[in-house]
Amino acid sequence: MFSNYALRIAHYALKFKEMLRNMKRNDPCWCGSGKKYKKCHADFDARIDEMKFVKAHNQIRPPKRLINNAADIEGIKRAAVINTGALDLMNELVREGVDTLTLNDAAHEFITSHGAHPSCLGFEGFPKSICISVNNVVCHGIPSRKEILKSGDILNIDITTDLDGYFADASRMYTVGEISAEAQRLIDTTREIMEVGIAAAQPWHFVGDIGAACGKLAHENGYSVVTDLGGHGVGKKFHLEPFVSHDCRANTGMLLVPGIVLTVEPMINAGRKEVTVDDKDNWTVRTADGSLSAQWEKTILITETGAQVLAS
């Protein structure tokens, strides 16, 4: 049986094929670039049609609404400049004795002063502008005046910025004072895991290749990969298809084609992969065994030659 997600994608694919059958080569291209179809995505569509992935059912053609044109990509890049600036600001502010709400407020002020909006604020009821996840918090940590950073802490700060309807999403790890060798190894290896995932994001391959590369390196280093959460499409909305697992089989999932924008954001645990969600705030995700967790995230664009980092 198909999942609801697979059925939805199959529906989009059928509608897309019907549209292409009716499209003439001199018509405006479906991507919104303003160019004629024959000068824009005609060869692109022909290449996909030549591939035999549909029969496998686990390799899915991306719907056209996920393909970004040049103007869309420039919009995402402009949002990314502000997002990167907010993360850079955190480098200056993260230190012992600072509470996480102070960091949140500084990021909020930076983003809004540049004419943008912090996307986390109000998203499905999230109460703050950024996510700050300390030590055994995997993700979605809610900034608080009561949470005061101390020496030895490690934390992930996750920021998404919306500028004129375009979204950029990235996160980094930060450290407070002197941290343990175990924590430093987890941070460094998680960053390497993200980078091998990005290197695996190649055009005309599949989203599962990202997770296969990430999972392999994580397990080789004795770590577990959170699979209940993952990366996602981003750009014209905060969250889009595809879901990006960071521990799965290669040659599965959505076809990666030029114009797709998504996040690679492995969440790596020092202990087991199982997580819990705080039953009071319904947001904070922690490791079930209390072990440390780390995450790095970049927004990438699939191009004709590989993956281009847009936000980091």
Q: Which of 212, 310, 193 is nearest to 262 (CA)?
A: 310
Q: How confident is the model at residue 60 (pLDDT cuts 50, 70, 90)?
A: confident
- Cα→Cα distances 59→9, 152, 180, 258, Å: 11, 44, 42, 16
Ramachandran bin of 97, using left for φ above 0, alpha for ψ from -120 to 50, beta for the remaining angles: left
Q: What pLDDT is attached to residue 247?
A: 98
Interval 157-165 mean pLDDT? 98
Tokens 């869309």 belong to 72
Per-chain mean pLDDT for the chain:
91
Provide the pLDDT confidence category of residue 185 given band limits of 50, 70 and 90.
very high
The tens digit of pLDDT for each residue in 272-295 reads 999 999 999 999 999 999 999 999
Q: Is 281 exposed, middle or buried (0-12, 13-18, 19+ CB in 10 A)?
A: middle
Q: What is the mean pLDDT of residues 213-218?
A: 98
1-44 pLDDT, tens per residue? 334 544 555 555 555 555 556 778 888 887 888 887 777 876 77
In the numeric block, which tokens belong to residue 276?
């819990």
Q: What is the pLDDT of residue 1?
A: 32
Q: Tell me, what's the pLDDT at 55?
A: 46
Q: What is the per-residue DSSP string for 149-191?
A: --TT-EEEEEEEEEETTEEEEEEEEEE-SS--HHHHHHHHHHH
Angle, CA 197 vertex, CA 193 and CA 202 arms, to 5°: 160
Sorting pLDDT into bands at 50, 70 and 90, what band is 53?
low
CB 195, CB 270: distance < 8 Å: no
Higher pLDDT, 37 or 306: 306
Q: What is the pTM of this model?
A: 0.85
% of the chain residues with pLDDT over 70: 89
Stretch 199-209: mean pLDDT: 96
| Interval 230-267: pLDDT, tens | 999 999 999 999 999 999 999 999 999 999 999 999 99
Average pLDDT for 43-62 = 65
Domains defined for the chain, CATH in brackets = 4-50 (no CATH), 70-311 (3.90.230.10)
